């Protein structure tokens, strides 16, 4: 396999992960609209239905297994922080949301 093929496979994998994230983000709506809004390659109606069903099953598993304080508290803290910053600068918000995501992952890893 040549370097171009490897890069193309990596690009497709990244798009698939982003698509899954955006479908998860749209929960509890049963839609792929966010993936479409951000210009990710569309899939067939059958594949989209399967993606949404898998997403809902995974999110339900998380909702059923995590204590609400592990989800609601940090989200509320982040919302208050964003409001307090009074910024609409996309780079600043993206940096804080990245920090939030990493902090939640770190918290959940320590939850066990």
- Residues 24 and 53 occupy one common structural domain: yes
Sign of CA dihedral 50, 59, 40, 36: positive
Domain that holds residue 43: 3-65
Burial of residue 80, with CB atoms counted within 10 A of its CB: 0-12 exposed, 13-18 middle, 19 or more buried: exposed
Same domain, 9 and 20: yes
Instruction: Judge if 57 and 7 occupy the same domain.
Output: yes
> Is this structure's pTM higher than 0.85?
no
Q: CA separation (Å) from 94 to 30, 39, 77, 97?
A: 25, 19, 16, 5
Residue located via tokens 């940096």: 95
Total structural domains in the chain?
2
What does the pLDDT look like over 12-71, one tens digit per residue?
A: 888 889 999 999 999 888 899 999 899 888 889 999 999 999 999 999 998 888 888 878
Q: Which two tokens stand for residue 87?
A: 């910024």
């Amino acid at each position: 396999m040549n370097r171009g093929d490897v890069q193309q496979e990596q690009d497709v994998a990244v798009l698939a992960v982003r698509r899954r994230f955006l479908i998860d983000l749209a929960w509890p709506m049963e839609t792929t609209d966010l993936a479409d809004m951000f210009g990710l390659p569309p899939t067939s109606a059958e594949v989209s239905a399967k993606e949404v069903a898998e997403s809902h099953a995974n999110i339900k598993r998380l909702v059923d297994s995590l204590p609400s304080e592990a989800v609601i508290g940090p989200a509320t803290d982040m919302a208050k922080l964003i409001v307090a910053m009074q910024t609409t600068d996309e780079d600043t918000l993206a940096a804080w949301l990245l920090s939030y995501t990493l902090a939640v992952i770190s918290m959940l890893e320590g939850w066990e």
